[in-house]
């Protein structure tokens, strides 16, 4: 049996896809990796918000699934939209890696630093921590962003710790932010294996139940906040507590809440955002 596994073509994405493939291989099962270019890969200059922040690295992979060009799509769960596309399901979440954000180039946040990131979520929380920071747009794959830090004379860049770990670049990390300082993106640190509805059996053996429960609760928070909320949104379940956040992109206000019910938590955050 041949299972075609679709992935973005970056070094990190292919590393993640190979990790997923290793979990799917079994006697009688052959894996073929299929690189696919997404909108987020083609346009590396515009801010994410201008090309659709959530889903820009996902849409083409989902279309390939629906067109039967691939059988499994490997996503960084944080790149996915908060609800499943029609006809598709997340058949498995692999065991979650470090969900935290990482500071590369420095070991602490200091007044007046120039920090590179393209994330509105990171921008908002960084400025809330230290309003004197200068946040500069920075896109590209991990290697590109690390290189641009030096080329542009930035003091630091903020990246997902899991990506650096997966590429053997943990030595670049000066600080792993406590989620109490920078709350991660919903799904950050987890890999999602997406399949067509009714075909979850292709990946079911790779599913980690604890990761599924936590990531699905995070995605539910974001879904409940709703598309009408333009503020940066974050959600993270650490195994004990589900936390959600909305904030002004300039860091002038941050609303952080905890709760057991993801939908109620999301609605509470949406109400809090509407009051600002």
User: Of these residues, 100, 145, 166, 219, which one is catalytic?
Assistant: 145
Does residue 46 surpass a pLDDT of 70? no
- Cβ contacts of residue 93 below 8 Å, gap of 6+? 77, 190, 191, 192, 193, 207, 208, 211, 212, 215
pLDDT, one tens digit per residue, over 102-121 is 999 999 999 999 999 999 99
Does residue 55 surpass a pLDDT of 80? no
User: Of these residues, 8, 23, 79, 100, which one is catalytic?
Assistant: 79
| Alpha-carbon span 170 to 151, nearest angstrom | 21
1-95+189-207: CATH class: alpha beta
Q: Are 239 and 115 in contact, with CB atoms under 8 Å apart? A: no
Structure tokens at 3: 């299972």
User: Of these residues, 8, 23, 122, 149, which one is catalytic?
Assistant: 122
Annotation says 145 is catalytic: yes
Reduced 3-state DSSP string for 53-94: CCCCCCHHHHHHHHCCCCCEEEEEHHHCCCCCCCCEEEEEEC
Asked if the 101-176 domain carries CATH number 3.40.50.620, the reply is no
Annotation says 219 is catalytic: no
Question: Which option is the CATH number for 208-276: 3.30.750.24, 3.40.50.720, 3.40.50.1820, 3.30.160.40?
Answer: 3.30.160.40
State mean pLDDT over 10-36: 94
State mean pLDDT over 232-256: 96
pTM: 0.90
Annotation says 79 is catalytic: yes
What pLDDT does residue 48 have? 46
User: Of these residues, 54, 139, 196, 214, which one is catalytic?
Assistant: 139
Angle at 206 between CA 203 and CA 212, to 5 degrees: 100
- Cβ contacts of residue 150 below 8 Å, gap of 6+? none
Annotation says 121 is catalytic: yes
User: Of these residues, 8, 78, 100, 196, which one is catalytic?
Assistant: 78
Reported confidence tier of residue 50, pLDDT bands at 50, 70, 90: very low
Domains 1-95+189-207 and 101-176 share a fold: yes
Domain ranges within the chain, ordered by starting residue: 1-95+189-207, 101-176, 208-276
Reported confidence tier of residue 39, pLDDT bands at 50, 70, 90: low
Does residue 41 surpass a pLDDT of 70? no
User: Of these residues, 100, 121, 149, 214, which one is catalytic?
Assistant: 121
pLDDT, one tens digit per residue, over 184-221 is 999 999 999 999 999 999 999 999 999 999 999 999 99
pLDDT, one tens digit per residue, over 127-174 is 999 999 999 999 889 999 999 999 999 999 999 999 999 999 999 999
């Amino acid at each position: 049996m041949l299972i075609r596994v679709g992935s973005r073509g970056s070094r990190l994405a292919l590393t993640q896809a190979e990790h997923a493939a290793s979990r799917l291989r079994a006697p009688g099962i052959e894996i073929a990796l299929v690189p696919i270019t997404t909108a987020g890969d083609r346009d590396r200059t515009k801010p994410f918000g201008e090309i659709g922040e959530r889903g820009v690295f996902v849409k083409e992979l989902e279309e390939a699934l629906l067109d039967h060009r691939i059988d499994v799509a490997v996503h960084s769960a944080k790149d996915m939209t908060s609800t499943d596309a029609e006809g598709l399901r997340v058949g498995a979440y692999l065991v979650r890696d470090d969900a935290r954000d990482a500071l590369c180039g420095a070991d602490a946040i200091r007044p007046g630093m120039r920090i590179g990131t393209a994330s509105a979520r990171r921008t908002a929380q960084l400025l809330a921590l230290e309003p004197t920071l200068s946040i500069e747009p920075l896109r590209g794959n991990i290697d590109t962003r690390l290189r641009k830090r030096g080329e542009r004379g930035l003091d630091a860049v903020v990246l997902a710790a899991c990506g650096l770990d997966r590429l053997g670049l943990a030595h670049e990390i000066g600080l792993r932010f406590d989620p109490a300082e920078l709350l991660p993106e919903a799904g950050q640190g987890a890999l999602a294996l997406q399949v067509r509805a009714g075909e979850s059996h292709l990946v079911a053996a790779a599913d980690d139940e604890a990761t599924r429960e936590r990531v699905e609760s995070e995605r539910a928070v974001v879904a409940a906040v709703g598309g009408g909320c333009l503020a940066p949104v974050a959600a993270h379940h650490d195994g004990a507590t589900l936390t959600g956040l909305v904030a002004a992109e300039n860091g002038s206000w941050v609303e952080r809440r905890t709760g057991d019910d993801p939908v109620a938590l999301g609605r509470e955050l949406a109400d809090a955002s509407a009051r600002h």
